Chain A
Amino acid sequence: MAEVKDIIKEGNLVYKKSKVLTDKIMHYCPGCSHGVVHKILAEVIEELNIQEDTIGVSPVGCSVLAYNYLHIDWQQAAHGRAPAVATAVARLLPNKRVFAYQGDGDLASIGTAEIIHACNRGENIVVIFINNGIYGMTGGQMAPTTLEGMPTSTSPYGRDIAMTGHPLKITELIAQLPAVNFVTRQAVHTPAAVRKCKKALQKAFENIGEKKGTQFIEVVSTCNSGWKLSPVKSNEWMVENMFPVYPMGDIKG
């Protein structure tokens, strides 16, 4: 049998951590989608060789600390305001690649005006929209994207649409805006989905390099802590319940 030291060599390498990822231990819960999205984002930045040209805008929510994990310049925006912040960065530094990373409460509730108008102006930015149907960091409250009947800490008997409205399909709304160049909905629950999502990210970052305007990537995600499910069960629950409401695939571009 071969010795381990004989196996660990350059020619046998099948996976390498991106050098754009820092060495800090992620604070995300095991099973959370953020970590996977961060990883493929770092890989895309490394593979496109745009580490020095990329400026990220992090939101409020669990991914407020995204700046701890990617070796790029970051700005941390107020709740919902990342698209406005990114607008100014992209306009004042037009040769940089600017992205806003937002959750569903951030983007589709408190920041609805900012995202709609940044997209309507066709700002040359990538928007990464993590939709797990819940406010994760504050302890699992109802989000604008929470499914009908889905229990959360502020809808303990399940979301009542008569009282709180319908799950907001903001990605479909944004796809209607003429200045938006690319809109897609992805997930990262299987290796195949991760690869597809990474391809979408790569396309988006290439597109802003060519100044094609707003790139919008929704990633339907899990929040197993907030959903009170195991990581595996969360993935199953997402496929069964989230995907019918938020179907996978490209919507525009």
Chain B
Amino acid sequence: MAEYKLMKGNEVIAEAAIRCGCDGYFGYPITPQSEIMETLMLRKPWEETGMVVLQAESEVAAINMVYGGAACGKKVMTSSSSPGISLKQEGITYIAGAELPCLIVNVVRGGPGLGTIQPAQSDYFQSVKGGGHGDYHLIVLAPASVQEMNDFVELGFNLAFKYRNPVLILSDGVIGQMMEKVQLSEIKPRWTDAEIEKISGTWATTGKKSNRDYHVITSLELDSLRQEKFNHKLIEKYKVIKENEVRFETFQCDDADYVLVAYGSSSRICQKAVEIARAKGVKVGLLRPITLYPFPTKKINEMCSKAKGFLSVEMSAGQMVEDVRLAVNGKVPVEHFGRLGGVVTTPNEVVKALDELIKKGK
């Protein structure tokens, strides 16, 4: 029977991790996501499922623990908020370079620097363009509800193992802190050693078996031609991801003259903005990217045949808008609107920005 609860977005990340058979969580406190580790410590999953939960000495150590755990074929994760995610970038690029599966959660707050502790969406570039050094991408999931915070934990692990690639849940302080009704996932046991052997036995470092050569997890390649070959392998992997894993949702787009593009908490605000604008007779719809990498480029490009303009609504100085512009490729106007520094946009502000876009087009 389905189990429902009223929970915070951060709390449900912890609950979903336990329920999907996560083997290890390694974290470091930072606002506004500390409830994730706090919930885990209260729940004591090590008694229930054997899951390891450890408060590391730093975000740097936490992400390197994720590296070590993932290299053993285990389902491991970490979470943090913007300044902490910056610290994790070294580990994340090593994880991407060693092709390890893992889950990272970023409950974004305003920046740059120490910034604010209020919600923002200003880590888009860092999340979808790489973040650390070298050519790589994360698969980026953007939940817009507490329910999706729950659902994307298991989805994230599935994608991570399917592609041997780190997956990032890009949330924000609104989704992390707000409470909503959530249908909890079914409880699944952690993988047995035999299952890990079946899933990741060709590469995981679980101790050298007599029937195989030894495994090495590394991102080092001293021969530049071989490194280039590996870079091409990654490019091919990202191509497959782009072909198969684009996820988005449309809201009242069928007859829309104008399209709002928004993810996460901004997409919730934009739903209301669509209602207000439609009541005033403006035919506007909403496209919500669920995966930010891969981005719904093709869908946005297709929408250009009908739409007269796009408005990218994000709590940043204008980051996703660049990807919308690339998708639109100059066919129609694309503008950006968003409050900054931890200030949450209101639906009426979005409608006003939309009015300006329409006026500009005339």
Residue numbers of A with Cβ under 8 A of B are: 51-55, 57-58, 64-65, 67, 71-78, 81, 84-89, 91-93, 96, 113-114, 116-117
Contact = CB atoms under 8 A, between A and B. Distances in A.
A24 to B, nearest CB: 12
B362 interface: no
Contacts of A96: 206-207
Interface string B195-210: 0000000000111111
22 contacts: A52-B209, A53-B207, A55-B206, A73-B205, A73-B216, A74-B214, A74-B218, A75-B68, A77-B64, A78-B67, A78-B91, A81-B60, A81-B61, A81-B67, A87-B68, A88-B24, A88-B64, A92-B76, A96-B207, A113-B61, A114-B61, A117-B61
A75 B214 contact: no
Contacts of B262: none
Nearest to A73: B205
A52 B208 CA distance: 5
10 residue pairs, one from A and one from B, having the closest CB atoms: A88-B68, A85-B68, A76-B218, A73-B205, A84-B64, A117-B57, A88-B65, A81-B64, A88-B69, A84-B61
B75 to A, nearest CB: 10
B340 to A, nearest CB: 33
A76 B61 CA distance: 15
Nearest to A58: B218
B71 interface: yes
A93 B205 CA distance: 10
Contacts of B220: 64-65, 76
Given A73-B215, A78-B94, A88 B66 contact: yes
B126 interface: no
Interface in B314-362: none
A228 to B, nearest CB: 24
Q: Which among A57, A73, A87, A116 has the highest number of chain B CB atoms within 10 Å?
A: A73
A178 B206 CA distance: 30
B24 A91 contact: yes
B234 interface: no
A72 B68 contact: no
A67 B68 contact: no
Given A75-B71, A93-B207, 9 more contacts: A73-B216, A74-B217, A81-B64, A84-B64, A88-B65, A89-B205, A91-B52, A92-B72, A113-B60
Interface in B15-68: 23-24, 26, 52, 54, 56-58, 60-62, 64-68
B227 interface: no
Nearest to B205: A73
A192 to B, nearest CB: 32
Contacts of B23: 92
A185 B61 CA distance: 26
Nearest to B219: A76
A196 B52 CA distance: 37
B8 interface: no
Contact of B54 (A57, A77, A91): A91
A55 B216 contact: no
Contacts of A76: 98, 216-220
Nearest to A51: B208
B67 A77 contact: yes
A53 B66 CA distance: 20
B164 interface: no
B109 interface: no
B137 interface: no
Nearest to B56: A84
Contacts of A89: 68-69, 71-72, 205
B288 interface: no
Contacts of B216: 67, 73-76
Contacts of B76: 88, 92
Contact of B208 (A57, A73, A93, A116): A73
Contacts of B90: 78
Contacts of A84: 56, 60-62, 64-65, 68
Most buried by A among B24, B61, B69: B61
A76 B94 CA distance: 9
Most interface-central of B71, B206, B219 (chain A CB within 10 A): B71
Nearest to A71: B214
A72 B206 CA distance: 10
Nearest to A81: B64
A74 B64 contact: no
Nearest to A117: B57
A251 B223 CA distance: 42
A11 to B, nearest CB: 28
Contacts of B218: 58, 67, 74-76
Contacts of A51: 208
